[in-house]
Structure 1
Amino acid sequence: MADDQGTTGAIRTYPFDPGASVCGVGMQVGPMGAEGPWHGIGTTRRVHRIEFHVLLFFREGPVRHMVDFTEYEMQAGEILWIRPGQVHRFSRTDPYVGTALSMQPGFLPRATVEATGLYRYDRPPRLRPDAAQLAALEDSLAQLQREYLDTTTLPLSLHTTVLRHSLTALLLRVAHLAATSPESGDTAPQQGTTFTRFRDAVERGFPTNHSVSAYADDLGYSRRTLVRAVRAATGQTPKGFIDRRVILEAKRLLAHTELPVGRIGVAVGFPDAANFSKFFTQHTGTTPAAFRADQN
């Protein structure tokens, strides 16, 4: 825990660095490894969060990579999609060979974000394209990389626009692969503003707000409308959605920091340690202390 994380406090978080991008645009694409634009993160080999999207296109394997308590053994031809806020760790021993694509939140318009499912945290990080899908993805990725590196034939505004279109084309292919994956568990499209506004509000507010009615009021929806939208998008109730987000954050802090259990409870909205322990046990079947001990 502390020796892995390097701190006994919050999990280390890396923001997107536009200064590492060609022309300072809101995306980066390049080789994995020490020469890649994201080498400062990759070479840490420590548990951390990122505030942006990363897609890793593996050309060699196996490579073991942990994302939110699941270790994925990635093979050549597979893709790992790590979304903002997810806790992950690079392998300490396996070499990373392939292409890394990073994207700053806000680089793509909202309609594209919805169409590509950028924040579909319910979808599995690992994607396994078949031969035809992989060939199409490789062509699209190569085109994006050519456009990214071509800084001479267009003014910066048009260069950025072309990059957005090329990135959208690639992400639509990746999103289709994610939606049709046997591990996806999709029940219905998550497009539409009601659920996405609720999801974004929960992401901002879950450390202090666990009330469905409060979210409904803040967003200007009736409770019934919110229930219908969240159930259609995820198969869960709004309360279940909130509780799952709280539990995930609690697990992250228990496993990857040495914060006292009481402080972790406060961090996820439970000023009383006993109430936090009861909530955690109800949802996981184990106490916070036992869960932390199991991670060692």
Structure 2
Amino acid sequence: MTVALPKIDYKADSESDIEVMTIAETFVKLTKTTEHNPFEVHKIQFYFILVVTENFYSHYVDFKFYELKKGSVLFVAKNQVQHFTENFKNVKGYCIILNSQFLEQNYFMSQNHNLNRLYNYHLENPVIHEEEMGKDEFIDIVKKLYFEYTLPSNFAKADILRAYIDIILLKAERVKQQHAISGVKTKWLEIFNEFRNSLAANYIKTRSSRDYSAELLISYKLLNDIVKSTTGKTVKAFIDDFVVVEIKRYLVTTSLSVKEISYKTGFDEPANMTKFFKKNTQTTPLKFRE
């Protein structure tokens, strides 16, 4: 029997697109979860923000543990795989869960807000530490967000919650912009994001760099320059890395055979997928799974 990776949808306790809890409240909720084990790998179908205010915590996202401390904020995107660790119960802070449709409509497809770097896990580190903020900080804003979320009055609550989320996301984007590679044009970031979205939708059909440049109506050279300036990789290397991550997700989080995974990730033959994976990771799919 094939065991599929649990996909966890947005299920707030209210009709709001935003859910805010303390880490203690979140831990209690996690221990009552029956649909999946939050302390084992699962894929989220929403956007998640984890803010640490006291102690240290290590959170697993896409085959890596991220170390968090006081003032650290972790941004986990929809479709990433993650799991909580046991030390979660010893940490203080807040968890913010955002409905994917709300975030995508208001921040990724909106002309008013343009989050080019935040939640762009192919481009940026998902963690912002307190020292990166300079004189600024997230904690006070998050505390106000939580206060408003738990306030009994519902008058203008949704608008106020969205205003605080607006501040948090834009502050985070500003930090990412300040620490980004200098000289990368905003238009190039927009094209890179279009390329990344197209790759996510079509990598099973094609891994050809020229197919993606043609779809974007730009030259291969320009696409290669854009990807290289934003990620430090050629288009081909970026595509290969993207596919490797997708293969790893299947290997670690399902019991699908190598043959099944090869077809699901766009390879005609399992041998070709194994060769591709070994070339890019220096190990075989089965050894990686072990």
| Fold match by TM threshold 0.5 | yes
User: Match of 1:267?
Assistant: 264
User: Match of 1:54?
Assistant: 48
Task: Measure the CA separation in 2 of the matches of 1:28 and 1:190.
Answer: 34
* TM norm structure 1: 0.80
Q: Superposition pairs for residues 203-282 of structure 1, below 5 Å? A: 203-282=200-279
Task: Measure the CA separation in 1 of the matches of 2:88 and 2:121.
Answer: 28
3-state secondary structure, aligned to 1:59? strand
Q: Partner amino acid for 2:3? A: G
- Report the CA distance shift for 1:132/1:64 in structure 2 as closer, same or farther (over 3 A): closer
Task: Measure the CA separation in 2 of the matches of 1:286 and 1:60.
Answer: 39
- Report the CA distance shift for 1:94/1:27 in structure 2 as closer, same or farther (over 3 A): closer
Q: Superposition pairs for residues 1-296 of structure 1, below 5 Å? A: 8-17=2-11, 19-21=12-14, 24-34=15-25, 39=30, 40=33, 44-92=38-86, 94-95=88-89, 96-107=91-102, 108-110=106-108, 111=111, 112-114=113-115, 117-130=118-131, 136-150=137-151, 152=153, 154-155=155-156, 159-178=157-176, 186=181, 189=184, 191-192=186-187, 193-293=190-290
Q: How many Å apart are 1:10 and its aligned residue?
A: 2.6
User: Match of 1:4?
Assistant: none
Give a deviation string over 1:35-61, Cα, whole Å, max 9, x none: 579634896311101122211112333
- Report the CA distance shift for 1:14/1:186 in structure 2 as closer, same or farther (over 3 A): farther
Please list every run of 5 or more consecutive structure 2 residues that lacks an aligned counterpart in the other structure: none
1:187–1:235 CA contact under 8 A, matched in 2: no
2:118–2:172 CA contact under 8 A, matched in 1: no
Task: Measure the CA separation in 2 of the matches of 1:109 and 1:275.
Answer: 39
RMSD: 3.0
Identity of aligned residues (%): 25
Please list every run of 5 or more consecutive structure 1 residues that lacks an aligned counterpart in the other structure: 1-6
3-state secondary structure, aligned to 1:130? helix
Task: Measure the CA separation in 2 of the matches of 1:232 and 1:103.
Answer: 31
1:34–1:43 CA contact under 8 A, matched in 2: no
Give a deviation string over 1:75-106, Cα, whole Å, max 9, x none: 33322221222211111354143200112234
- Report the CA distance shift for 1:132/1:288 in structure 2 as closer, same or farther (over 3 A): closer
Q: How many Å apart are 1:164 and its aligned residue?
A: 2.9
3-state secondary structure, aligned to 2:74? strand
